[in-house]
Chain A
Amino acid sequence: MIGNVIILALREIRRNVMRAALTTLGIVIGVGAVIAMVTIGNGAREGVANSIESMGRNLIILQPGTRRGPGGGGRASAPPFAQADVDTITRQVSDIRVAALATRAATVIAGNRNHPTQIAGTNNAYLGVRDWPVIEGRIFSDSEVRSGRAVCVLGQTVKNVLYGGQDPIGDEIRVGQIPCEVVGLLSPKGQSTFGQDQDDLVVMPLRTLQRRLAGNLDIGTIWIGVNNAGDIPRIKEQLTEILRERRYLNDNEPDDFRVNDMQEIAGVMDATATILTAFLSAIAAISLLVGGIGIMNIMLVSVTERTREIGIRMAIGARERDVLTQFLVEAVIMSALGGVAGIAIGLAASAIAVHFFDLPFVPSLSIMLIAFIFSAAIGVAFGYFPARRAARLDPIDALRHE
């Protein structure tokens, strides 16, 4: 019997495809918006995860924080780290790799091309900690690192700007004021979690940068690669202890440095993405509700318009419940079809959007299922009132209706 009801409903929908399409437009848009939001949100989250991955797993980053100024008023940036800090950490903490990093902005010049970029002064450990291999040429030799020779390794972006398709290895470029030999080329790493181009940099030995570009011995950041993820909490504690001691902080003074690990940063980013997705989905859900009201509206008009048809059906033996189920099934089929169309449109829209934002495309089957069921449920909820009105019509009045 239900099969027959579905046949009747499908015939009715097919008879007026335009009306059905307009009826479900609200649902199509609502479902499409929800699907697009969730899919893009998933992509963003996956993108965060990927970029965190690209920063390097099991990383701890030490940065100077802020410190209270004299007399307790105002806040100033805390002093940078020094080589002695790095040495102490290397000596006292086991199962880690330590890379000191100092950065400077400078313009690099090769031939007649120039490019303003970030210069990273560090040692080979940095590239190891960040899982960032050199794909052409070589890394620094120990003597180059010790003596602070003017050699450098280029990031992909810098190489592309300065050399295009040509091989830069062995060439001499100018970094700021100093001439510098290119010895290696880094593998591409893509965007960071924060949308920066990680490949837009030039790496040189820390000592070279300190002496010849910066003119001081400051270390801005210390990157620590942890061999075992499980050790991260213990090592963070140890690092905090060492740094507090070395920076002469009393027990009642807060840390004037930050100890962050990537898991933590990932967690924050993930939470942000989740909240954003939830928020946008809530807005999209409102449009679903509006879509449902649209269905009710058109169904009510349709009941009036089809009063005579309802009368005919009743005369030839349709009971109240036959008419009720017919209209209800029509509403459900229309809204479910609208849901399917919405899913397709939402997927297409999010596929385009993630392509634009350079995010991975992560469709979620569960949200599609939920959207489908929800749109069918909207058909029931908003189709019921018009269907009941149709079913309660008096057959004689309905037959007389013009």
Chain B
Amino acid sequence: MTPQPLLLFDDVTKIYGSGEAAVVALDRVEFAVQAGEFVAVMGPSGSGKSTAMNILGCLDAPSSGHYYFEGIDVASLSRDQRALLRRNYVGFVFQGFNLLKRTTALENLELPLIYRGASREERRAAAEKALALVGLSDRASHTASELSGGQQQRVAIARALVTEPKVILADEPTGNLDTARGQEIMALLASLNAEQGITIVLVTHEEAIAAYAQRRIRFLDGRIESDTEKVLA
């Protein structure tokens, strides 16, 4: 018997709008991600990969079918319960970094911990540790707008890490960076996966970036076109 997957799409359909204007973003998609995997999700725009990421990140719920996060059926959860799931188990890294602009790196890292109700000391310690992990200890009191793009993305990764999540969802994390910075970021993500065993799901359209992952899922027109795991199996 295979272990319970961390993330499981079971016959997931997502439809936006209704009637004539209805758009099927995901059409009966099925796949599973095991804990510790590093998965790249690929596909042209409009293929459904972003919708899949939103559902994976519990930002959205499927229209039909089930999405299980560690066996929990997310579709049955309320908005607030999904927020708690994100708070405790999911870390996000976005293409646009999405740090609070006029806020220092350290305060950005403390933010998710504040929502967790961590004490001031716990926050400070965890934030400093995460910042050290991405090699930016010396930028702690710089505001986001004072940091370069690569540095901002490293702070964003640290923010995703700081709560010790079960999965990091990275949506085109290198999209706004030059090749060298992009490779640094990917190396960082790869090492987090390899050394800390953090599950990573990454959306990208660049083969070179996807190459860092162990597995590739390719979307087309709301369906999975190919999945390297299945090829291997």
Contacts and interface: CB of A to CB of B under 8 A. Distances in A.
B98 interface: yes
Interface stretch (B1-9, B84-92, B172-180, B224-232): B84-92
Interface string B194-223: 000000000000000000000000000000
B116 A317 contact: yes
Contacts of B103: 11, 15
B20 interface: no
B117 A11 contact: no
Contacts of B94: 399
Nearest to A308: B98
Contact of A316 (B54, B87, B107): B87
A319 B77 CA distance: 13
A7 B103 CA distance: 13
Contacts of A314: 59, 83, 86
A218 interface: no
Interface in A1-23: 1, 4, 7-8, 11, 15-16
A395 interface: yes
Query: Binding site of B, secondary structure by majority: helix, strand, loop or mixed?
Result: helix
A313 B87 CA distance: 10
A8 B114 contact: yes
Contact of B83 (A1, A317, A399): A317
A184 B206 CA distance: 107
A197 B113 CA distance: 70
Q: Determine which residue in B54, B57, B87 has the highest number of CB atoms from chain A within 10 A of its CB, and name it.
A: B87
Contacts, number: 64
Nearest to A14: B102
Interface string A90-126: 0000000000000000000000000000000000000
B57 A320 contact: no
Interface string B91-124: 0101000111011000100011011110000000
Contacts of A321: 80
Contacts of A144: none
B159 interface: yes
B59 A322 contact: no
B10 interface: no
A396 B54 contact: yes
B79 interface: yes
B28 to A, nearest CB: 21
Contacts of B163: 317
Interface string A303-325: 00000110111111111111000
Interface string A391-402: 000011001000
Given A4-B117, A313-B111, A319 B100 contact: no
B80 A317 contact: no
B37 interface: no
Contact of A317 (B86, B100, B102, B107): B86
Nearest to A391: B79
B112 A316 contact: yes
Given A4-B117, A7-B114, A399-B98, A315 B80 contact: no
B60 interface: yes
Interface string B133-145: 0000000000000
A320 B79 contact: yes
Contacts of B111: 8, 313, 316
A322 B60 CA distance: 19
Nearest to B57: A315
A309 B83 contact: no
A314 to B, nearest CB: 7
B88 A317 contact: yes
A15 B102 contact: yes
B6 to A, nearest CB: 18
B86 A316 contact: yes
Interface in A245-285: none
Contacts of B102: 15-16
17 contacts: A4-B117, A8-B111, A312-B98, A312-B99, A313-B111, A315-B57, A315-B59, A315-B92, A316-B112, A317-B87, A317-B163, A318-B83, A318-B115, A320-B80, A396-B54, A396-B60, A399-B98
Given A316-B112, A399-B98, 10 more contacts: A7-B114, A8-B114, A11-B107, A312-B100, A313-B111, A314-B86, A318-B87, A320-B83, A396-B54, A396-B60
Across chains A and B, which 10 residue pairs bring their CB atoms closest together, nearest first? A317-B87, A319-B83, A316-B112, A319-B80, A4-B114, A15-B102, A317-B86, A317-B115, A312-B98, A395-B59
